[in-house]
Amino acid sequence: MKYPEGIAAQPAALATSLASLQLPSYKGGLIALVGIGASEHAAQGAATAWRAAGLQAVAIPASSPPVAAALTLLISESGRSTEVLAHNPSSRTIALTNFPDSPLAAAADEVILLNSGPDSPAYTTGYTATLQALGVLGDHWSATTSATAFGGGGRGGEGSLPASAKINSAGAADAESASAGGTSTRAAASAHGTAAAAPSASTAPGASTAPSASTAPGASTVPSASTAPGASTAPSASTGPGASNALASGVTPSVSAASFGDTDVSVSPFDWTALPALVSSALAAPLGAASAFLDEARLVDVVASGVSVATAGEGGLLLRESGRLHTAVHETRNYLHGPMEILDRETTCLLIGDGREVQLACDVREYGTKVVLVTTREVESSEGLVVIKVPKASNGLAQAVLEMVVVQRLGWEVARKRGLQVDGFRHRQSDTKVS
């Protein structure tokens, strides 16, 4: 799948993946989320969201030693990442992957299959489906999903999931019991192959709003703002000299205790079946001069906080892979303590979030640095500041999906300006994937 095709395919891929998710049980204790590359960024965002929801969770780079946890979630879309496979915890293990016949699926005690379909060389569908799966799993395990979120009854039980998403409890209790005694038994093989059949694109929830796949190959933009769902309500991204030179009234936050925490963490109930339509709206949001700001920069600082650290990490990586931009990734509060001293007129700041990031956008623009702000807030674009407004989701990981599709589009626009196809890696290493 080509990169622009992957971007456009995400509403349908997310709907298909959601409808087929099977969720294992969890009986408490520390959860270690393990990944490398894009999967590590997803793990970091999920660990932040899960802790806010009351779960004990930490993100661990796959290249680091295992921690003493009750459960280890091994995340790899391909199921072939060398470092994830080499991570050998003594706890019960669950693999989150897109491939049932992968080495990771064979090695783990249990498997959660994404069933998100093909992906592009620079991850699109697989990454956002991973975020969605982690969001649904966190909701289930923390019982924060409302009884009506999926039209079912009860909180955190099987009735609160989509009709086709099943709790994979077969063998889970035995695996936990055995793990507590120092050994681990593999869940029944049927746990790997009993996912509900993925719905067709015409019947998947939200699929009717997905961009047409027929327009994706070779498309010059992803997708057209004039035809994509939600385009009529998308905000203007004016960046001309005549634009307002101030942020919209009342949007600059005061510094308070809340400013120092995970400002993008949200644990409110969320209807995951609504995500594909929200993604379609994010795919239609005007980008203004944002890609030009990035393309012209000597360095792009990507900055976010809370769950959105996943977007900053993966966004910085993806902009390197797609547009071959020089990027640096920072957590928002940490950025204020020295890293921003490098800012000048040859640097662009890509700020993602609704909290301190909004005030920071105003400050940085005054230094003469160009700014791209991805936010749900009502903020006006002005000279040197492009605001890309995305829909608001009541779940931090769902919000990270919406932010990420915007960064994917920016990567593609920069790549097009530079004549890049984003069709693979120039410097692929032979020891990062197993066959």
Write the CATH number for 133: 3.40.50.10490
Residue where one domain finishes, among candidates 193, 208, 238: 193
């993806």: which residue's tokens? 318
What confidence score (pLDDT) does residue 246 get? 38
Q: Identify whether the C-beta of residue 211 lies closer than 8 Å to the C-beta of residue 280.
A: yes
Q: Is residue 410 part of a domain?
A: yes
Assign 266 a pLDDT band (cuts: 50, 70, 90): low
DSSP characters over 34-85: EESTHHHHHHHHHHHHHHHTT--EEEEETTSPP---SEEEEE-SSS-BHHHH
Which of the residue ranges 126-130, 186-190, 278-282, 351-355 would you say has the lowest mean pLDDT?
186-190
What confidence score (pLDDT) does residue 267 get? 59
Give the gyration radius of the chain's Cα atoms: 21
342, 408: one domain: yes
264, 353: one domain: yes
Q: Is the pLDDT of residue 374 over 70?
A: yes
169, 64: one domain: yes
124, 230: one domain: no
Burial of residue 174, with CB atoms counted within 10 A of its CB: 0-12 exposed, 13-18 middle, 19 or more buried: middle
Provide the sign of the torsion angle of the four alpha carbons 95, 191, 136, 352, taken in this order.
positive
Q: Which domain holds residue 297?
A: 226-417
Q: Is the pLDDT of residue 173 over 80?
A: no
What confidence score (pLDDT) does residue 16 get? 98
Q: CA dihedral in degrees (128, 16, 170, 397; nearest 10)?
A: 30
149, 242: one domain: no
What confidence score (pLDDT) does residue 184 get? 34
What confidence score (pLDDT) does residue 355 get? 96
Q: Is the pLDDT of residue 356 over 60?
A: yes
Q: Is residue 217 part of a domain?
A: no
List, in order, residues 6 or more apart from 419 with CB less than 8 Å away.
Answer: none
Residue 121: how many other CB atoms lie within 10 Å: 17
56, 167: one domain: yes
Residue 243: how many other CB atoms lie within 10 Å: 17
Which of the residue ranges 50-54, 175-179, 258-262, 353-357 would you say has the lowest mean pLDDT?
175-179
Burial of residue 123, with CB atoms counted within 10 A of its CB: 0-12 exposed, 13-18 middle, 19 or more buried: buried
| Percentage of residues in the chain having pLDDT higher than 90 | 66
Q: Identify whether the C-beta of residue 301 lies closer than 8 Å to the C-beta of residue 335.
A: yes
240, 171: one domain: no
What mean pLDDT value characterizes the chain? 79
Which of the residue ranges 10-19, 219-228, 272-281 would you say has the lowest mean pLDDT?
219-228
Q: Is residue 127 part of a domain?
A: yes
What confidence score (pLDDT) does residue 288 get? 96
Q: Is the pLDDT of residue 249 over 60?
A: no
Number of domains in the chain: 2
Q: Is residue 206 part of a domain?
A: no
358, 269: one domain: yes
110, 37: one domain: yes
Residue of 431 and 20 predicted with greater confidence? 20
What confidence score (pLDDT) does residue 47 get? 98
Assign 213 a pLDDT band (cuts: 50, 70, 90): very low
Q: Is residue 248 part of a domain?
A: yes
What confidence score (pLDDT) does residue 383 get? 95
Residue 82: how many other CB atoms lie within 10 Å: 18
Backbone phi, then psi, for 365, in 5-degree steps?
-60, -35
Q: Rounded to whole angstroms, how far apart are CA atoms 329 and 135?
A: 23
Q: Which two tokens stand for residue 369?
A: 């640095």
pLDDT digits (tens, 9 = 90+) for 75-121: 999 999 999 999 989 999 999 999 999 999 999 999 999 999 999 98
pLDDT digits (tens, 9 = 90+) for 377-435: 999 999 999 999 999 999 999 999 999 999 999 999 999 999 998 887 778 777 777 88
| Percentage of residues in the chain having pLDDT higher than 70 | 71
185, 110: one domain: yes
Q: Is the pLDDT of residue 305 over 50?
A: yes
What confidence score (pLDDT) does residue 269 get? 83
Side-chain half-sphere CA neighbours of 149 within 13 A: 26
Helix (H, G, I), strand (E, B) or coil at 385: strand
Q: Which two tokens stand for residue 280?
A: 């379609």
Residue of 164 and 57 predicted with greater confidence? 57
Q: Is the pLDDT of residue 222 over 50?
A: no
Q: Is residue 431 part of a domain?
A: no
Q: Is the pLDDT of residue 301 over 90?
A: yes
244, 310: one domain: yes
Q: Identify whether the C-beta of residue 43 lies closer than 8 Å to the C-beta of residue 232.
A: no
Assign 25 a pLDDT band (cuts: 50, 70, 90): very high
Assign 313 a pLDDT band (cuts: 50, 70, 90): very high
pLDDT digits (tens, 9 = 90+) for 111-169: 999 999 999 988 899 999 999 999 999 999 998 433 333 333 222 333 335 444 444 43
255, 157: one domain: no
What confidence score (pLDDT) does residue 168 get? 44
Rounded mean pLDDT, 186-206? 36
């909290």: which residue's tokens? 355
Provide the sign of the torsion angle of the four alpha carbons 289, 290, 294, 297, taken in this order.
positive
Assign 229 a pLDDT band (cuts: 50, 70, 90): very low
Which of the residue ranges 44-53, 84-93, 180-189, 202-211 would you say has the lowest mean pLDDT?
180-189
Q: Is residue 179 part of a domain?
A: yes
Q: Is residue 249 part of a domain?
A: yes
